[in-house]
Every structure is written in C-alpha cells, then in structure tokens.
Amino acid sequence: MASSYSFDVVSEINMQEVDNAINQALKEIKQRYDFKGTKTEITLLKDEVKLISDDEFKLDTVIDILKGKFIKRGVSSKALEVGKIDSGSLGTAKVTCKLIKGISTEKAKAMVADIKASKIKVQPQIMDDQLRISGKNKDDLQETMQLLKSKDYGIDVQFTNYR
C-alpha cells in the first residue's frame, strides 16, 4: 500500500468541443431572424475567440449564444474570458475573448492559502499551470477536493492523476 496519495488540480479545455460549440453558434446565428442581413463572425484563433457583429447589443447576444453552446458541449463558460468591447467603424462592434487554460500563479496561490487555512493535513505544490496535492490519507484528499469545488476561483477546475 502506498504511503502517500496525490492528485492534480488542473484547468483544461477540450479544444475540439470549443470548435464544435463555435460551429453550432454560427449555425444558430445564421438561422435566427434577428441576425438576418447582419455581419456577424466568430473566429477561433489559437488561444482566443474573435467576435464581430453590427452593434453592441447583437454582440452581447452572440456572446450569450456562444456561452450557451459551450455549456451544452460540456465546456465551462468560465473558460471564456470576455474582453473589452470595441466599437469599430461603420457601427460594428468587436471583442476578443481569451480561452483560459491552466491555473495562473495568483489563483494557485489563493488555492494553496485556502487549503492551508482549512488545516487539512495535505501538502499543496504549485507546478507550472497546475497544482499537486499530496497527503497520507485518502479522506483528507477527498475533503480537499470538496473544499476546492465549494470555492469560486473564476476558473473551471478538474481533478486528475488521482493515485
């Protein structure tokens, strides 16, 4: 029997599902009556999604449609960080949304602080864009998972590599 158990806390995105969600959103926008004759685009780049529409109201609607499709495809809407809306020429509006992958150092430090404040007997360790939690007792690891699920860090967290 192992003397120490561990798991990793990660924030990952399935890019194939992101692509599927974008394609479904585009299909819905083409079919909607309120978007007939408008110039609305959704473009997936490496780590961001660019949205363009005729005005800010339509752009907000596109963002809502996209977030809904993300949720239907099993991708958390927290994975999409909407930037500042820019009003372009001829009344168009555009925005760049970042896809959040990995856990930033600040959020990892906040998670470590919460774990240490809870007095659970585990050792958190920050490793690049993930967090490794190790401990001698499986119940303590389960309790740590529940603690991290109950807090909102602004990102979607998954637990992997449980041993």
Number of domains into which the chain is organized:
2
63 pLDDT higher than 80: yes
pLDDT score, position 153: 87
pLDDT tier, 2 (very low <50, low <70, confident <90, very high otherwise): low
pLDDT averaged over every residue in the chain: 90
Percent of the chain with pLDDT strictly greater than 70:
99
CATH of the domain at 138: 3.30.70.860
| Residues contacting residue 94 through CB under 8 Å, at least 6 positions apart | 50, 51, 52, 53, 59, 85, 86, 88
pLDDT score, position 68: 95
| Same-domain check for residues 79 and 32 | yes
Q: What is the pLDDT of residues 101-142, one digit of tens each?
A: 889 889 999 999 999 999 999 999 998 888 999 999 889 999
- CA 26 to chain CA centroid, nearest Å: 20
Domain of residue 31, residue span = 15-99
Instruction: Tell me which DSSP letter residue 98 carries.
Output: E
